[in-house]
Structure 1
Amino acid sequence: INTMMVAILPVGAILFIGAGLLGAGTLRDLSLALFVGILIGTAATIFVAAPMYAWLRQNEPELVKQAKRVQQRRAGAAERAVPAAQAKA
């Protein structure tokens, strides 16, 4: 997101200030194309690339080991919680 903001600010300045005040049609066309491209690229990175990266990494050995450890700890915590809940009843 920070990189997108650094890229979009100068392009936005060219689009809104340069093309608007100077009336340069070529600047407007170029900066509009850059502006739209940066926005679409950022959205694609956030909503497509990040989930795809997570999906591709889910079968890595280290992440599988970590998931198993988490499941074991959850099962142990659930077993300890059941007797405590029965004792209160």
Structure 2
Amino acid sequence: MSNVISLSDARLGDRGVITRVGSVGGDEHGAELERRLLELGFVEGARIQLLHQGVFGRDPMALKVDDMRVALRRHEARGLTVELFAEAAE
């Protein structure tokens, strides 16, 4: 099983490190979303943990990014690639 996933596929309790920040789609909206995610601290090398997810459609998701907590929708998390830590990938 691969331990590199899109952040949108993360499950409750998953922990890892961001390995790639890319836009969702090649349009202007995708580039703006990528810029905003970078400003919020979603940068390569940041440690991340999925703390909570919404009841309907598992949206939004609450994440711990390094030392802060951020809420994000799953479609916004699609452009982030995360390498899960070994204990979370099992």
Higher RCO by CA contacts (8 Å cutoff, separation 6 or greater): 2
Q: TM-score with structure 2 length normalisation?
A: 0.23
Q: TM-score with structure 1 length normalisation?
A: 0.23
More strand by share: 2
More helix by share: 1
* Higher alpha-carbon Rg: 1
